[in-house]
């Protein structure tokens, strides 16, 4: 009995002031539990992050649509999708013999800059003197202007979806290094399958080459008419999206000929560009409408409904 008591007291003495450590088995169990919890929580965390990014993207599109409305209120018409002409012949808006400076491919986003608190950048790009992206990409003599070259490389955050992982500077038009963007103007339903002059100057959406729309032309109502959409992979040729540049089926001008999130280069295309819109948000893409509201349209949206939303006066 004495021996037992002595042993117990000795054990107690050894534990006084100390803490019993974890065994290897206990430690492994704890690590396994933590790993399981992380695996369970990670998708929820990622979903929450994407929801926040989608909200910010929607805010960008809303601000862009409101800037478009401000432009219309000030100028009495909406901006053209592309500021100037190209070499298309037989178009009354672009008669033969125009100088290169009148054939500027500057996008409508450039004209919105003063309404987005970007007046210094607008002045730097100075489209009215010498043009910008003249005659598409095959006449870049104006790019000897260091100010314009530096301006084209600027990437205001308003033009970038937080979920977009495209590179900020594209080498699509190398040696010109221009900033990419996540958003585009909606031209209507006529894409690469249509005659090029028709798609450029006679499309059924809000934004055309050179020719601006007026609010009175929007017979379907502004709340039912798309202004802006999103773009996938803006840094590759098949889906090039330089925010300062506007070109049929690419670079800020897109159509609803193809469904939301149709992969770049798929289907009928012109120079491998199909003009489709899409996003990095799972299941669909965001679109801004003429009254300033933003909708998330799912990949599975009926194609006829999708196209109807992109026309200004289809009576759908």
Domain residue ranges of the chain, discontinuous segments joined by +: 51-308
| Cα-based angle 230, 278, 292 (whole degrees, multiple of 5) | 35
What pLDDT does 33 receive?
78
> How far is Cα 104 from Cα 87, in angstroms, rounded to an integer?
11
What pLDDT does 65 receive?
97
What pLDDT does 178 receive?
92
What pLDDT does 78 receive?
97
| Cα-based angle 247, 80, 237 (whole degrees, multiple of 5) | 15
> How far is Cα 309 from Cα 260, in angstroms, rounded to an integer?
13
> How far is Cα 122 from Cα 290, in angstroms, rounded to an integer?
23
Tell me: the pLDDT tens digits for 140-194?
545 567 888 899 999 999 999 999 999 999 989 877 789 999 999 999 999 999 9
Structure token digits, residue 273: 């560009």
H-only helix segments in the chain: 2-15, 24-75, 108-112, 119-125, 146-152, 196-201, 303-308
Q: Where are the beta strands (DSSP E) in 156-307?
A: 169-170, 178-179, 183-188, 226-230, 253-255, 284-289, 294-298
Instruction: Write b or e for each residue in 173-192: b if 16 or more Cβ atoms lie within 10 A of its Cβ, otherwise e.
Output: beebebbbbbbbbbbbbbbb
What pLDDT does 13 receive?
46
For residue 187, give the nearest of 260, 252, 239 by alpha carbon.
252
| Residues of the chain under the 50 pLDDT cut | 1-2, 4-10, 12-14, 16, 141
226 - beta bridge partners? 289
Asked whether the beta carbons of 287 and 161 are under 8 A apart, the reply is no
> How far is Cα 308 from Cα 205, in angstroms, rounded to an integer?
10
What pLDDT does 10 receive?
47
């Amino acid at each position: 009995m004495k021996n037992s008591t002595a042993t117990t007291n000795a054990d107690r003495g050894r534990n006084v002031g100390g803490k019993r450590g974890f065994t290897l088995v206990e430690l492994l169990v704890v690590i396994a539990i933590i790993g399981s919890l992380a695996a369970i929580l990670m998708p929820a965390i990622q979903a929450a992050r994407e929801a926040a990014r989608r909200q910010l993207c929607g805010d960008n599109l809303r601000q862009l649509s409101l800037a478009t409305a401000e432009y219309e209120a000030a100028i009495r018409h909406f901006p053209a999708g592309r500021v100037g002409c190209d070499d298309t012949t037989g178009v009354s808006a672009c008669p033969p013999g125009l100088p290169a400076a009148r054939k500027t491919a500057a996008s409508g986003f450039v004209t919105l800059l003063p309404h987005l608190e970007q007046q210094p950048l607008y002045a730097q790009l100075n489209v009215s003197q010498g043009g910008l992206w003249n005659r598409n990409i095959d006449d870049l003599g104006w790019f000897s202007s260091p100010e314009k070259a530096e301006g084209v490389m600027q990437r205001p955050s308003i033009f970038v979806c937080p979920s977009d992982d495209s590179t900020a500077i594209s080498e699509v038009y190398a040696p010109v290094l221009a900033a990419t963007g996540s958003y585009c103007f909606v031209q209507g339903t006529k894409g690469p399958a249509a005659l090029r002059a028709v798609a450029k100057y006679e499309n059924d959406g809000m934004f055309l080459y050179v020719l601006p729309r007026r609010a009175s032309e929007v017979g379907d109502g502004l709340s039912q008419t798309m202004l802006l959409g999103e773009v996938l992979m803006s840094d590759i040729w098949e889906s090039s999206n330089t925010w300062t540049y506007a070109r049929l089926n690419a670079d800020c001008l897109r159509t609803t000929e193809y469904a939301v999130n149709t992969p770049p280069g798929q289907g009928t295309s012109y120079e491998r560009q199909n003009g489709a819109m899409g996003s990095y948000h799972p299941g669909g893409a965001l679109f801004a409408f003429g009254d300033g509201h933003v909708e998330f349209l799912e990949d599975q949206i009926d194609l006829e409904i999708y196209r109807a939303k992109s026309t200004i006066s289809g009576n759908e």
